[in-house]
Amino acid sequence: MRRVRQGSIPDIIQRYRGIVLVVAVPLFLVCFILFVVSSTPGSISRKAIPGGLAGSRSYAVIFDAGSSGSRVHVFCFDKNLDLLHIEKKLELFEHIKPGLSAYANDPQQAADSLIPLLEKAESVIPEGLRHKTPVRVGATAGLRALGDEASEQILQAVRELLQHKSSLKFQSDGVTVLDGTQEGAYQWVTINYLSGRLGKSYADTVGVVDLGGGSVQMAYAISEEDAKRAPKVSDGEDSYVQKLFLKGSHYYLYVHSYLHYGLLAARAEILKISGDVSNCILGGYHGSYEYGDETYKASASPSGASYSKCKDDAVKALRVGEPACANMKCTFRGIWNGGGGDGQKNLFVASFFFDRASEAGFIDSNNPVAKVKPAEFEEAAKRACQLSIEDAKAAYPRVATDNLPYLCMDLVYQYALLVDGFDVDPNLYITLVKQVPYGDSFVEAAWPLGSAIEVASSP
């Protein structure tokens, strides 16, 4: 057998040099291109945009300019409109006090108050995506109460701020005063989206009551037959029913907003009823209450607060049964109630309802979701109304000093609103919600997510 001679490596390369050149040259070019691209300043990498390429995610920035403060929400969506994490959470949420309406005489100061929130929002959005990220500012009942001229001056100052000092995608019509039906509809979308109910039948969705500072909204899905029975409204008034198409399903959404009946505004309405001495103010307190441009005397009766008398004043302020409804069921002030039905049987109640229940101690403040009965607001009100202002300081350490004199009033009003105003069974379990669980995290139960879903769905 002949032995095959083994050549040296240089001999082998020389012998097969043609093949080596065919393989090596393209490989070298590919490596060189990759080196140049990765070294180019400003190139987008996975590190610059967490989670992958720019096209796989989008952001939306929503400012909630409410009567009690300003808040910013930043959301990140994938291509299926599912929420993605931002800094280990499913949203950025920051807030400041006071709200824009506190600067009625200084529009520029009102706009400048949003700068810290704007800077925080921009800081969590990858730089390469900021110019593509829409920003909206929705002012609610606080600005609605100022009147057209004052509110428009503030909004114009906010528009100029976003146009000149923001790197986000700005459109002037994205800064506006939300009407109450928009606010209520967005809130309904938010809670049903987070709880995984969008795309199901209307009977499987939940109803929402959102108690803000200046207004309260009720929204729930109704049948097409009930939608056809909705009463006609006068020109300039919001329709009772909105038709929505979400996740492949049509919904007829009953929604109504009651201006002047948010918690802070309702205090003023109750104080108008009571006059100089209020049965709803904790004993020993003598002061005044400011809301909007008005100041109201807020002094306790010599005998202190009275649950029963305060309840009478709250029902009068709600104007239950005025005017009477002849051919349909109404809530308060003669407002059609939507007809009831399956879309209202599971009720989620948000904002100040959760806050006061937590502060009064009948829900766990560390749990953002709680099941309660309206009757528990009544029981808490009866306990609070018995106390003087000094005793209440010790009994309710979590209540802010400026809210403490009105604790009896607030709890009475919340019970009256649910039971007398909206005709909710006092023993029906409702869900108090501050945040809604979504995946492995929690998201604020507020209307901005509904707005973000709308803007993220737009071309």
Residues with catalytic function: 183
Interstrand relation of 241-246 and 215-222 (parallel, antiparallel or unpaired): unpaired
Q: Angle 148-165/115-123 helices, nearest 10 degrees?
A: 40
Say how far apart CA 308 and CA 434 lie, in whole Å: 29
Distance of CA 195 to the CA centre of its chain: 15
**Contacting residues for 149 by C-beta, under 8 A, at least 6 apart:** none
132 touches 58 (CB < 8 A): yes
Classify each residue of 32-70 as buried b or exposed e, where b means 16 or more C-beta atoms within 10 Å of its C-beta: eeeeeeeeeeeeeeeeebeeeeeeebbbbbbbbbbbbbb
Signed CA dihedral, 335, 336, 342, 343: sign only? negative
d(CA 130, CA 84): 17
Identify any residues that bridge with 358 across adjacent strands, giving them in sequence order: none
Amino acid 408 reads: C
